[in-house]
Chains A and B, each alone.
Chain A
Amino acid sequence: MGLANEAYITGVGQSEVGVRLTRSPMGLTKDAIMEAIADAGLTLDQIDGVASYPGKSHGYLGFSPVGVDDVIEQFGIKARWHFGGGEIPAQLSAIAEAANAVRTGQARHIICFRTVYEAAAMSRPEEFPALQRETVDGFSQWTAPFFAISAACWVAQYAQRQTKLYGMTREQLAQVALNATRNAYKNPRARAITKEPLTMEKYFSARMISSPFCLYDCDRFTDCSTVIIVSAGDALDEVSPNPVRIAASAGKVDRWSWDQPELMACYPTGEDLWKKTDYKPKDVDTVQFYDGFAFFPIGWLEALGFCEMGEGHKFIEGGTRIAIDGELPLNTGGGQIGAGRLHGFGFAHEAATQLRGKGGERQIPGDPKVAVATSGGGPLAAALLLARD
């Protein structure tokens, strides 16, 4: 039985993960929802809440083609609570908000989803026109005029600091992608993204994007929907066994900017997470860290206290420590570099999958009980602490 005033992940689902899929965004969302509610042992009429990040992106539908409103309407959900928006700490904060909702009795079972369609949208510009703007404004006016168009250029500068101040080498950085593709190769859902594990030789033969990042340090546009079901602690008698408790969450930002702060928001967020739980870093069995760019997991390792500041690249050196059979398995499903840019929700999906022992060929050994899932980089940062207790 669950604890009242607690929130649990009771089911997870995922559509096909592909590049330039032809199935519609709502079709993919349906596939993920149906798999998740079946996993949870629920039916659609038991769902009374819906959450997503960042809500429907009307300006460029490939980024987020399905909104919370669409899901309520499409699936006939009588929503007592719903939420969809981007001005929250990061992608996984939508799940943290759903957890708060079930803890306070506002809903019993919430569908949390993130549907991405960036690869398909780019291949069908007549249906998904690219954003055409005469001018830049908001944050992008401080970067785009200098041809720092992509977040790759912004994050590369944080990574370059690690290189210059702490001596990170490209061989060390490469371990993020090598580990990701090795794990993705064991993940049946990642077949379209990783055809074979990356080698160090191939890594070094790739073209540079923005130093120190080469092509393999960047995730790639993907089409997919990922769903997490969040249920109230006093509703666990309605679901399948094997729930995972959302033990804590954090999302702390000191300055909302990609270039003004000295440190990315993962640092204050990591510190804040441990203030909200009795668990300690040493209790964690696996970590699923956002890897839109390969430097992010290094930052999260430091931020969450798995190593000292400036030591993250040494922690992953050689890759054995972060491997599936290592002391702290990282991105066991392949992360975004290996399994596609699911935009944050994949990390919660994989953390829950591992804690429930459903990782199949990529299942970590032993009896894992505690995991951390994170999302975001720059001023975006969210962390979830998941526990099977």
Chain B
Amino acid sequence: MNPPRPRPKLDSDNRAFWTGGADGNLNIMKCGDCGEYTHPPRQICRHCQSENMAPDAVAGTGEVDTYTINYQPWMPGLEVPFVIARVKLDGVPDVILTTNIVNCDVEDVDFGDKVKVTFEEQNGIWFPLFEKVA
């Protein structure tokens, strides 16, 4: 049994990202004026400085940009090995999520693998993990 995941401190910037999974949504902050995404989330657009920002429920699919198989138990009880990956999101240019690729053998993950989000909930935080698309 893994220890609890380190819990993000919720604030007005990140709340939609970390709680969107309750509605099945992967929320990325989007600018209502220039249409660009800002991640990590902010209430001011990093592209045009507009404050017309709102969380956008994106497709939740993407592909593995790069990954590592982690063998070191950084916390007591942490089950290893597991995959840490950077996922490029479909339809969300220039946004990368660090995440885990789950529900497959660690040796089965590769660059360019198509993946989709799957949420793991712990005490009101919905962690966006990814699994391979069959």
Q: Pick from A22-30, A59-67, A151-159 the stretch touching chain B.
A: A151-159
For residue B87, give the distance in angstroms from its CB to the closest CB of chain A. Answer: 10
Check A145 against B66 for contact (C-beta < 8 Å): no
Q: Does A202 contact B (CB under 8 A)?
A: no
- Given the known interface contacts A136-B6, A147-B75, the answer about A141 and B14 at a Cβ–Cβ threshold of 8 Å is yes
Q: Does A208 contact B (CB under 8 A)?
A: yes
For residue A60, give the distance in angstroms from its CB to the closest CB of chain B. Answer: 16
Give Cα distance in the complex from A161 to B74, angstroms.
Answer: 23
Question: Which single residue of chain A is at the shortest CB-CB distance from B46?
Answer: A255
- Given the known interface contacts A143-B98, A146-B99, the answer about A157 and B8 at a Cβ–Cβ threshold of 8 Å is no
Kindly identify, within residues 115 to 157 of chain A, every residue whose CB is under 8 Å from any CB belonging to chain B. Answer: 134-137, 139-150, 152-154, 156-157
Kindly identify, within residues 206 to 238 of chain A, every residue whose CB is under 8 Å from any CB belonging to chain B. Answer: 207-213
Question: Which single residue of chain B is at the shortest CB-CB distance from A156?
Answer: B68
For residue B128, give the distance in angstroms from its CB to the closest CB of chain A. Answer: 9
Q: Does B72 contact A (CB under 8 A)?
A: yes
Question: Per-residue 0/1 for B10-21: is the Cβ within 8 Å of any A Cβ (1 yes, 0 no)?
Answer: 010010000000
Give Cα distance in the complex from A210 to B66, angstroms.
Answer: 13
For residue B126, give the distance in angstroms from its CB to the closest CB of chain A. Answer: 11
Chain A residues near B69: list those with CB within 8 A: 208, 210-211
Q: Does A164 contact B (CB under 8 A)?
A: yes
Chain B residues near A137: list those with CB within 8 A: 8-9, 11
Give Cα distance in the complex from A210 to B71, angstroms.
Answer: 6
Check A153 against B70 for contact (C-beta < 8 Å): yes
Kindly identify, within residues 31 to 84 of chain B, every residue whose CB is under 8 Å from any CB belonging to chain A. Answer: 39-40, 66-72, 74-75, 78, 81-82, 84
Chain B residues near A169: list those with CB within 8 A: none
Check A134 against B72 for contact (C-beta < 8 Å): no
Give Cα distance in the complex from A143 to B85, angstroms.
Answer: 10
Q: Does B132 contact A (CB under 8 A)?
A: no
For residue B79, give the distance in angstroms from its CB to the closest CB of chain A. Answer: 9
Q: Does B27 contact A (CB under 8 A)?
A: no
Chain B residues within 8 Å of chain A by Cβ, number: 37
For residue B28, give the distance in angstroms from its CB to the closest CB of chain A. Answer: 12
- Given the known interface contacts A153-B68, A211-B69, the answer about A145 and B7 at a Cβ–Cβ threshold of 8 Å is yes
Give Cα distance in the complex from A257 to B11, angstroms.
Answer: 19
- Given the known interface contacts A146-B84, A210-B69, the answer about A135 and B75 at a Cβ–Cβ threshold of 8 Å is no
Check A145 against B86 for contact (C-beta < 8 Å): no
Give Cα distance in the complex from A136 to B11, angstroms.
Answer: 12
Check B84 against A145 for contact (C-beta < 8 Å): no
Check B95 against A260 for contact (C-beta < 8 Å): yes
- Given the known interface contacts A148-B98, A153-B84, A260-B96, the answer about A141 and B8 at a Cβ–Cβ threshold of 8 Å is yes
Q: Which of B2, B71, B85 contacts A157 (CB 8 A)?
A: B85
Give Cα distance in the complex from A210 to B84, angstroms.
Answer: 9
Question: Which single residue of chain B is at the shortest CB-CB distance from A212?
Answer: B68
Give Cα distance in the complex from A209 to B68, angstroms.
Answer: 10
Question: Which single residue of chain B is at the shortest CB-CB distance from A155?
Answer: B68
Give Cα distance in the complex from A134 to B8, angstroms.
Answer: 9
Check B68 against A260 for contact (C-beta < 8 Å): no
Check A147 against B98 for contact (C-beta < 8 Å): no
Question: Which single residue of chain B is at the shortest CB-CB distance from A150?
Answer: B74
Check A259 against B96 for contact (C-beta < 8 Å): yes
For residue A259, give the distance in angstroms from its CB to the closest CB of chain B. Answer: 5
Check B82 against A147 for contact (C-beta < 8 Å): yes
Give Cα distance in the complex from A137 to B125, angstroms.
Answer: 14
Kindly identify, within residues 60 to 89 of chain A, every residue whose CB is under 8 Å from any CB belonging to chain B. Answer: none
Q: Does A320 contact B (CB under 8 A)?
A: no
Q: Which of A134, A140, A141, A160 contacts B66 (CB 8 A)?
A: A160
Check A147 against B78 for contact (C-beta < 8 Å): yes
Give Cα distance in the complex from A109 to B78, angstroms.
Answer: 50
Check B5 against A145 for contact (C-beta < 8 Å): yes
22 contacts between A and B (CB under 8 A): A134-B7, A135-B8, A137-B8, A141-B8, A141-B9, A145-B127, A146-B100, A147-B2, A147-B78, A149-B6, A152-B72, A153-B68, A157-B86, A160-B66, A160-B67, A164-B111, A211-B70, A211-B71, A259-B96, A259-B97, A259-B98, A260-B95
Question: What residues of chain B have their CB less than 8 Å away from a CB belonging to chain A?
Answer: 2, 5-9, 11, 14, 39-40, 66-72, 74-75, 78, 81-82, 84-86, 94-100, 110-111, 125, 127, 129
Known A-B contacts: A136-B7, A145-B7, A213-B68. Give 7 more (CB < 8 A). Answer: A136-B9, A139-B40, A146-B98, A146-B100, A148-B98, A149-B74, A210-B72
